[in-house]
Amino acid sequence: MKSITIQGTKRESVGKKSTKALRDAELVPCVVYGTTEPLNFSAEERAFKGLVYTPDAHTVELVIEGQSIPAVLQDIQFHPITDKILHADFYQLTADKPVVIEVPVRLTGRSKGVVAGGSLRQSFRKLKVKALPANLPDEIVIDVTPLKIGSKLYVGDIKTSEYSFMHPDNAVVVAVKMSRNAMKGGASADDDDEEGGANEVPATEQSGEASADTAAE
């Protein structure tokens, strides 16, 4: 997985007054958890641009007064009106401990159902995966070419040995729906696909593209 570097400075005080002063100076109060005691630090708000305001997933190299700490973003808080970053939590990476992170989903190909006039519906733009740091993927690539009208691709259909998904196997990632054009053209789905499509409860997208929520287990 790609990594970005964020330079930080240790915080000697973590009270409300000092926190406000940091934010007024366009600095973000942060903390990194891990194998040792939590480390409080601050970083420039602009340093988060490549981490937060992007659809891509990244690990982070925190450089705090000469100390380098590999980490993932665990939680981030924004001002409800201005969207200014108020606080960020990181979790330190260790080679032998899996972490959970959201990874973007990228669709490739042109499905048979779309060619027949159907409509492609993507329920998840990102999926949460659990993996060792060395096995974290940059993205999850799904070839939709085989999908016919009425077909659905589930989380359980995505096969990989390097990471596991933090979603039910029956969660629908992408589906091809019957469209008006397909109905006018007399297109039909396979019997099994039609039966499955009739019982579908659409999955909801778990987060927006700018979300960077991660957790460690």
* Tens place of pLDDT per residue across the chain (217 aa): 889 999 999 988 888 888 888 888 999 999 999 877 899 999 999 999 999 988 899 999 999 988 899 999 999 999 999 999 999 999 999 999 999 999 999 999 999 999 999 999 999 999 999 999 999 999 999 999 999 999 999 999 999 999 999 999 999 999 999 876 656 655 554 433 433 333 333 333 333 333 334 444 4
Radius of gyration of the chain (CA): 21
Dist. CA 72–CA 43, nearest whole Å = 15
Predicted model pTM = 0.75
Tokens of 48: 């988060």
Domains of the chain: 3-94 (2.40.240.10), 101-198 (2.170.120.20)
Half-sphere exposure in the Cβ direction for 191 (13 Å, CA): 0
Tokens of 191: 């019997």
Dist. CA 29–CA 42, nearest whole Å = 5
Candidates 172, 184, 203, 198; CA nearest to 118 is: 184
